[in-house]
Amino acid sequence: MRTWLEVDLGLIKKNIETVKQTLPEGCQIIAVVKANAYGHGDAKIAQALRRFGITHFAVACIDEAAQLRNAGLQGEIIVLGYTDPQDVVRATQMDITLACVGRSHFKELYAAAQEATKPLKIHLAINTGMNRIGFECRTPEQLERIYKSYNTVKNDIAQGEQVIDICGIFSHFSSSDDTSEGAEAYTEKQLERFNMVLDFLKSRGIEPGLRHISNSGAIGKYPQARFDAVRCGALLYGYNTAMDAKLPVEPVMEWKTKVTCVRTIERGDAVSYSRKFVASKPTVIATLGVGYADGLSRALSNKGCVLINGCKAPIVGNICMDQMMVDVTEIHQLASEHAIPFDVARGTEAVIIGRSGKLVQTADDIAEGCGSCMHEVLSTIGLRVERYYR
- Residues identified as active-site: 34, 273
For residue 171, give Cα distances in angstroms to 57, 91, 93, 109, 152.
Answer: 16, 21, 26, 19, 21
CB atoms within 10 A of CB 166: 22
Beta-strand relationship, 305-308 and 120-125 = unpaired
Residue 186: half-sphere exposure toward Cβ, Cα within 13 Å: 15
Distances from the Cα of 377 to the Cα of 106, 326, 360, 382, angstroms: 35, 20, 16, 10
CA angle centred on 122, ends 172 and 132, rounded to 5°: 30
What's the 3-state SS for 288-344?
ECCCHHHCCCHHHCCCCEEEECCEEEEEECCCCCCCEEEECHHHHHHHHHHCCCCCC
